[in-house]
Structure 1
């Protein structure tokens, strides 16, 4: 995998990977028009990957909003395709393949003379019964470092609140450092465990309670840790209320599988974690526990 340095005009990686949640067709149209207009104005290629939306509706909405969508399609500056035709081809989702596809797409846009690439992806497919859908959170966590810190790419992940369960949406949205329309969670909708990429160093921050009831989130964190290409990875536990031995063991195993040169670094580990490490000292061999 090659490395492409993003220009300063693209903003930071955090600014360019954005979660966009909406509750109505009007909200969807507003986000669509703002994003596409900006891309066409900057001579970027714009790609829209639909899932629940009919492709023709995308171009009609743009035309109704004053965008010459047909000309943009004819010139190749605007590409509307289904997720099934692109990164879900074969009825499965593979985060590793998707990371590679982003590199290929940016190179293809540059080869055609565009100043950059921006894309919208409808993420409602994550709720479908398909192979790899359970790896969506892992993917959202990984691409901050593996894609947006390396490529001049801007992408908005579209999450339709009408199609994604509230608790699942909150966890996925927290995996982005930037989100549009991030309201306060309603009672009972806040995620028990969320995970956020760290900005300053490669790694993640766990927030909430990590236990059996959210093992699917823990599995995504472990997969992202194991796949990280960074030489040193940090896991910030300072915002954790609870972490059980199963979660800690899974994190340690993930660190052992990763290609990192340095041991997995635990930052801000609460007293309960220190107690677990004293009870199970075999877990400490592949950890660096930073002093609080």
Structure 2
């Protein structure tokens, strides 16, 4: 039976196991890398590193220089260093559904080989290149809190190198994590993050024309979420335009029949906007705290 995300998990809270890691130089990168790998090896977990711009040999040299026996860990299969291009980007396009399935398979393989769980680092700089499906990365980051970390003994850090990604992109993607590590980033115009204790998402800031891509990612995550009951917490949302509401309500209407998506504490005009779209009203339920 899949554990409920609200219940304590034997391997720790999901919010603590999926983190964004933002860094600005090689020293910071090495510190985060070594802390993560050392912790995983000490706990008997399998550790995987998915490089994008970093030479895999540099990853191994950095670990060895820090006193970590990476060679022995590789030999036993407890440590692997590969590239995103040979793993989750090996297909025709980045596909959140396929990647979620890969995580389930990878954890099953790791635990089947006697490891206590799986740890992984992924370099995310590929998201600003011309990679098919890169525009679905935010959808993926929003979905995996419940669909992956709420269900599996997996710890993963998403590495965001500020030298490779523009600050606005880093802000949006880092904001999609519940727990953060590394350099602080400015709040994006519209931040969306998973709810830590139940299936759903928290929206804060302003949703309008300039954030339509973020709203589209939230809609895709709402549409795909397998949880029968989903909540969209809007208590920190200052503005929501009619077009954004229509996109979100349309995604709610596309979900399989079941309870409506709960919209918690939307902006004051929210109810009036819903009156403009009565055909969508049955798909959402506006609630207060």
TM-score bin (small chain):
over 0.9
Equivalent residue for 2:260? 263
Quote the Cα distance in structure 1 between the aligned partners of 2:149 and 2:282. Answer: 32
Structure 1 window deviating more from structure 2 (269-278 vs 28-37): it is: 269-278
**Structure 2 counterparts to residues 94-133 of structure 1, below 5 A:** 94-133=95-134
Equivalent residue for 1:165? 166
Quote the Cα distance in structure 1 between the aligned partners of 2:278 and 2:265. Answer: 18
* Residues matched between the structures, number: 287
Match of 2:231 among 229, 234, 238: 234
Deviation at 1:87, TM superposition (A): 0.5
Equivalent residue for 1:51? 52
1:176-232 CA deviation, whole Å, 9 max, x = no partner? 0000025262xxxx3111101112321111111111111110010000000000111
Equivalent residue for 2:243? 246
1:61-82 CA deviation, whole Å, 9 max, x = no partner? 0011111111111111101110
Equivalent residues of 1:229, 1:260 under 8 A apart: no
Equivalent residue for 2:270? 273
In structure 2, runs of 5+ residues without a counterpart are none
1:91-142 CA deviation, whole Å, 9 max, x = no partner? 4200000000001000111111111110001111111111100000000000
SS in 2 for 1:247: helix
1:213-269 CA deviation, whole Å, 9 max, x = no partner? 111100100000000001111111111111111111111111112236101111101
**Structure 2 counterparts to residues 142-291 of structure 1, below 5 A:** 142-183=143-184, 185=186, 190-259=187-256, 261-291=258-288
Quote the Cα distance in structure 2 between the aligned partners of 1:279 and 1:215. Answer: 20
Quote the Cα distance in structure 2 between the aligned partners of 1:260 and 1:227. Answer: 13
Deviation at 1:5, TM superposition (A): 8.5
In structure 1, runs of 5+ residues without a counterpart are none
1:125-183 CA deviation, whole Å, 9 max, x = no partner? 11111110000000000000000000000000110011111011111111100000252
Equivalent residues of 2:205, 2:237 under 8 A apart: yes
**TM value normalised by structure 1:** 0.94
SS in 2 for 1:135: helix
SS in 2 for 1:63: helix
CA-atom RMSD in angstroms: 1.7
1:21 aligns with 2:57: no
Equivalent residue for 1:86? 87
Quote the Cα distance in structure 2 between the aligned partners of 1:78 and 1:184. Answer: 31
1:38-63 CA deviation, whole Å, 9 max, x = no partner? 11111111000000101111001001
SS in 2 for 1:10: coil
1:69 aligns with 2:66: no
Quote the Cα distance in structure 2 between the aligned partners of 1:279 and 1:247. Answer: 13
Equivalent residues of 1:91, 1:130 under 8 A apart: no
After superposing on structure 2, the runs of 4+ consecutive aligned residues of structure 1 that deviate more than 3 Å are 2-9
Equivalent residues of 2:240, 2:267 under 8 A apart: no
Equivalent residues of 1:18, 1:180 under 8 A apart: yes
